[in-house]
Structure 1
Amino acid sequence: MNQLIAVVRQLRHPETGCPWDLQQTPTSLIPYILEEAYEVVHALQQEQPAAIAEELGDLLLQVVLQSQLAAEADQFTIADVAQRITEKLIRRHPHVFGTVELTTAEDVRDQWEHIKASEKGEEASLPLSQKLHRYARTLPPLIAGIKIGERASRSGLDWPTISGAWEKFYEELAEFQEALLKGEPSQQAAELGDLLFSVINLARWCQLDPVQALQQTYQRFIQRLELIEAAIDRPLEDYSLAELDALWQQAKQQLEGASEAEQPEEPPIEQR
């Protein structure tokens, strides 16, 4: 760790450092923080330890680099960053480092939110709408939708059964279709947002991660396209829609067959 900090410090040396690194600012590095975070997620999903370690290193570099920029501006150091998160973890886990007794993950989550609110000077009775504003401001839209749905549900703003979530989905789908026919862009966008939020809530009821599901869909789309491009001898634009559809179905079947082949054989009944 010390070596990494020293390397980053050298990269930022005003006389002998790297020209690219010397040009960076805290805001110019924001895209790299996001990119590296998603690279970590991808490596974790692939369950490849070597890739995970590498991508975590790339993300750690962004932490060290931001801390170096802050140290140069006499704001804080990497030691301050480590000390603050250590203190926060101890402070927000009194059931581990103190005398509080908690037994469920839900209790821990509620306690975390209560302590967090106290630290930020927020009243326990802060309106739910103000709490949800934080998610909408600071998180990517899809993740914000998940958090908002979960938090609203814990406050009683939810259907008693999943049938309510399904009814809401079909209601929003019909309203979106109607808005498309009227041709009013602002209303169309509003109804599309409502429809997407209803899908996110359905995923919550089904205990599915919509972010992961969408990422897997992107990956399948790209894999099918790769198979098509490997099988054709002309640009995609030279093929008719019917031809492309046939190639698409063929690629889909090929991938599904490969996926089934990778599944372990089911043991005989007497061995189950």
Structure 2
Amino acid sequence: MSAALERLIEIMARLRDPEKGCPWDREQTFETVVPYTIEEAGEFVFDDVVCAINDKMVRRHPHVFAEEKPGDRHQQRQAWEGHKSLERKKKAGNSDSGALHGVATALPALMRAEKLQKRAASAGFDWPDITGPSQKVGEELAECQAALQSGVKQEIEEEVGDLLFSCVNLARHAGVDAENALRHANRKFSSRFTYMEGRLRAQAKAIRQLPMEELDQLWEEAKSMGAKREQHEA
């Protein structure tokens, strides 16, 4: 094991220490760190990645590794964002670089949308509560429906994009990771569709042979079976 990796393990152990660690880090699970893992996937030299993480974790947690007085979770989150902002400005070599500078274009679209929104929010451009994002989704849906009626593909694509972006913002205000939410929806759809295929295969039928009314009934059956399975697993 490299010295850099050993150092990373030591750092993470301190951050997740039940008594003296960072409250935010202690709360993290395998599922919640997925977006941050994807962010780091653009780096290819492993030791360089580990060394950069080591420096970054220590620098952004002065309440754990230095003498800075720790605050509550909200105060620590604000301090974290402040450290990140200073790092971005230093990296850009320009103290006047914009809040959105450095958001990687290679990120998955939903994740990048959320990061853009968080950066804008940290600069003061955000709704005060979830009412605004919720209403915005309704507005964008209405505009999307109008574009569909026009039949102009470019307009439809633009409005669908705006609708998706507003849905990500709604998820952010609700404290939900949009990427994880869509991943979960994908799993549900895959499971229900596979159930439908299996039921029809047992009857020597294919999905395309059935009218939509029967498919709707079968879909509701698949949803019910999925809900029962989730309750059983819980």
TM-score under structure 2 normalisation?
A: 0.70
Q: Any idea what SS the aligned residue of 1:196 has?
A: helix
Distance 1:186 1:165, change over 3 A: same
Shift of 1:90: 3.0
Tell me if structure 1 keeps the 8 A contact 2:61–2:80. no
Which residue number corresponds to residue 139 of structure 2? 171
Equivalent residue letter for 2:215: L
**Which whole-Å CA distance do the structure 1 matches of 2:227 and 2:135 have between them?**
32
2:131 and 2:87 map into 1 onto residues whose CA distance is 34
- Aligned pair partner of 1:195 in 159, 163, 169: 163
Give the structure 2 partner of residue 106 of structure 1.
Answer: 77
- Contact residue 89 and residue 96 of structure 2 kept, 8 A: no
Match of 2:124, SS state, is: coil
| Cα separation, partners in 2 of 1:147 and 1:231, compared to 1, 3 Å | same
Bigger Rg over Cα: 1
Q: Distance in 1 between matches of 2:153 and 2:58?
A: 50
Partners of 2:224 and 2:232 in 1: CA distance? 12
Give the C-alpha shift of residue 205 in structure 1: 1.8
Contact 1:117 1:123 (C-alpha < 8 Å) held by counterparts: no
Question: Secondary structure, in 3 states, of the residue corresponding to 2:125?
Answer: coil
Q: Cα RMSD over matched residues?
A: 2.8
**Larger RCO (CA within 8 A; separation ≥ 6):** 2
1:150 aligns to what?
Answer: 118
Structure 2 runs not aligned, ≥5 long: 3-28, 32-36
Would you say the 8 A contact 2:137–2:163 is kept in 1?
yes
Describe the superposition over 1:52-105 as per-residue Cα deviations: whole angstroms up to 9, x where unpaired. Answer: xxxx9xxxxx98xx54xxxxxxxxxx5454434333433443443334444233
Alignment match, 2:10: none
Give structure 1 stretches of 5+ with no counterpart.
3-42, 46-55, 57-61, 68-77, 264-272
What percent identity do the matched residue pairs reach?
32
Size of the aligned set, in residue pairs, is: 193
Aligned partner of 1:241 in structure 2 is 212
Tell me, yes or no, if the aligned pair for 1:114 and 1:124 is still in contact at 8 Å.
no
Distance 1:183 1:80, change over 3 A: closer
Change (3 A) 1:234 1:144: same
